[in-house]
Structure 1
Amino acid sequence: MELDIVALSRLQFGVTALYHFLFVPLTIGLSILLAIMETVYVMTGRVIWRDMTKFWGVLFGINFAMGVATGVVMEFQFGMNWSYYSHYVGDVFGAPLAIEALMAFFLEATFVGLFFFGWDKLSKVGHLVATWCVGLGTNFSALWILIANGWMQNPVGAVFNPQTMRMEVSDFAAVLTNTVAQAKFVHTVSAGYTCASVFVLGVSAWYLLRGRHVELAKRSMTVAASFGLAASLSVVVLGDESGYQSSEHQKMKLAAIEAMWETHPAPAAFTVFGFPDQEARETHYAVHIPAVMGLIGTRSLNTVIPGIDEMSKRAEVRIREGLKAYDALQQIREAGSTTKVSQGVRDAFEFNGPDMGYALLLKRYVDDPRKATDEQIKKAAWDTVPPVAPLFWLFRIMVGIGMFLILLTGTFFVLSASRQLDRHRWLLKVAVWSIALPWIAIEAGWMVAEIGRQPWIIEGVLPTAVAVSNLGAMTVLLTLCGYIVIYTILLIIEMKLMLKAIRKGPEQEHPPHVVGEAFQRAVPSSVRTAME
Structure 2
Amino acid sequence: KIFLINFAMGIVTGIVQEFQFGMNWSSYSRFVGDVFGAPLAFEGLMAFFFEATFIGLWIFGWNKLPRGIHLATIWMTVIGTWLSAYFILAANAFMQNPQGFQMSESGHRAEMADFGAVLTNPVVLTQFPHTIFSAIMFAAGVITAVCAWHLVRGQNLELMRPALKFGLWGTIIAFAGVVLSGDQLGLVMVNTQPMKMAAAEALFNSACGADASFSIFSIGTPDGTGEVWSLRVPYALAFLSTHDFNGCVEGINDLNNLYATTKFPQFADQVNGNFAPILWVTYWSFRWMMGFGGIAVLVAIAGLWVTRKNAKRPVARWMWKIAIWQAPLALFGILVGWIFTEMGRQPWIVFGQMLTQDGVSPNVPGWTVLISLVAFTLIYLALAIVEFGLIFKTVKEGPQPLPGPDDPDPSEVSVENTPSTVY
Both proteins in one fold, TM over 0.5: yes
CA contact (8 A) 2:103 2:110 kept: yes
Q: CA deviation at 1:413?
A: 4.2
What is the rounded CA distance, in whole Å, between the counterparts of 1:61 and 1:156 in structure 2?
36
Secondary structure, aligned partner of 2:230:
strand
Q: CA deviation at 1:422?
A: 9.6
Partner amino acid, structure 1, of 2:341:
A
Post-superposition Cα deviations, 1:58-85, rounded to whole Å, max 9, x if no partner, equal 1110011001111111122111111111
What is the rounded CA distance, in whole Å, between the counterparts of 1:283 and 1:93 in structure 2?
42
Post-superposition Cα deviations, 1:276-325, rounded to whole Å, max 9, x if no partner, equal 6477644442221100111111111333111111111112203xxxxxxx
Evaluate the alpha carbon distance shift between residue 290 and residue 492 of structure 1 in structure 2; reply closer, same or farther with a 3 A threshold. Answer: same
Evaluate the alpha carbon distance shift between residue 138 and residue 419 of structure 1 in structure 2; reply closer, same or farther with a 3 A threshold. Answer: farther
Match of 2:385 among 488, 492, 497: 492
Q: Which has the larger radius of gyration?
A: 1
Post-superposition Cα deviations, 1:497-525, rounded to whole Å, max 9, x if no partner, equal 11111111111133399xxxxxxxxxxxx
Evaluate the alpha carbon distance shift between residue 95 and residue 441 of structure 1 in structure 2; reply closer, same or farther with a 3 A threshold. Answer: same
CA contact (8 A) 2:239 2:245 kept: yes
Moved more, 217-226 or 495-504: 217-226
Instruction: Give the 5 Å matches for 1:11-410.
Output: 58-163=1-106, 165-266=108-209, 268-275=212-219, 277=221, 281-318=225-262, 355=263, 358-360=265-267, 362=269, 364=270, 380-382=272-274, 384-410=275-301
Q: CA deviation at 1:420?
A: 5.9
Runs of 4+ in 1 over 4 A off after TM superposition: 413-417, 419-422
Partner amino acid, structure 2, of 1:299:
H
Partner amino acid, structure 2, of 1:495:
F
Secondary structure, aligned partner of 1:61:
helix
Evaluate the alpha carbon distance shift between residue 135 and residue 416 of structure 1 in structure 2; reply closer, same or farther with a 3 A threshold. Answer: farther
What is the rounded CA distance, in whole Å, between the counterparts of 1:401 and 1:279 in structure 2?
22
Match of 1:469 among 344, 350, 361: 361
Partner amino acid, structure 1, of 2:283:
F
2:409 match: none
What is the rounded CA distance, in whole Å, between the counterparts of 1:118 and 1:359 in structure 2?
59
5+ residue gaps in structure 1? 1-57, 319-354, 365-378, 514-532
CA contact (8 A) 2:221 2:227 kept: yes
Partner amino acid, structure 1, of 2:254:
E
What is the rounded CA distance, in whole Å, between the counterparts of 1:225 and 1:278 in structure 2?
35
Q: CA deviation at 1:171?
A: 1.5
* Cα root mean square deviation, aligned: 2.1
Partner amino acid, structure 2, of 1:447:
I
Secondary structure, aligned partner of 1:102:
helix
Instruction: Give the 5 Å matches for 1:404-483.
Output: 404-413=295-304, 418=309, 423-425=314-316, 426-470=318-362, 471-483=364-376
What is the count of residue pairs matched by the alignment?
403
Higher helix share: 1
CA contact (8 A) 2:235 2:246 kept: no
TM-score by length of 2: 0.90
What is the rounded CA distance, in whole Å, between the counterparts of 2:405 and 2:136 in structure 1?
31
Partner amino acid, structure 1, of 2:286:
F
Post-superposition Cα deviations, 1:215-267, rounded to whole Å, max 9, x if no partner, equal 11112212222222110111111111121111111111100101111112335
What is the rounded CA distance, in whole Å, between the counterparts of 2:153 and 2:12 in structure 1?
34
Evaluate the alpha carbon distance shift between residue 134 and residue 243 of structure 1 in structure 2; reply closer, same or farther with a 3 A threshold. Answer: same
Q: CA deviation at 1:361?
A: 5.3
Post-superposition Cα deviations, 1:18-54, rounded to whole Å, max 9, x if no partner, equal xxxxxxxxxxxxxxxxxxxxxxxxxxxxxxxxxxxxx
Evaluate the alpha carbon distance shift between residue 275 and residue 151 of structure 1 in structure 2; reply closer, same or farther with a 3 A threshold. Answer: farther
CA contact (8 A) 2:204 2:224 kept: no
Q: CA deviation at 1:492?
A: 0.5
Moved more, 155-164 or 73-82: 155-164
What is the rounded CA distance, in whole Å, between the counterparts of 2:47 and 2:53 in structure 1?
10
5+ residue gaps in structure 2? 407-423
1:505 match: 398
CA contact (8 A) 2:260 2:267 kept: no
CA contact (8 A) 1:276 1:389 kept: no
What is the rounded CA distance, in whole Å, between the counterparts of 1:279 and 1:398 in structure 2?
18
What is the rounded CA distance, in whole Å, between the counterparts of 1:146 and 1:422 in structure 2?
46
What is the rounded CA distance, in whole Å, between the counterparts of 2:342 and 2:370 in structure 1?
21
What is the rounded CA distance, in whole Å, between the counterparts of 2:312 and 2:4 in structure 1?
28
TM-score by length of 1: 0.72
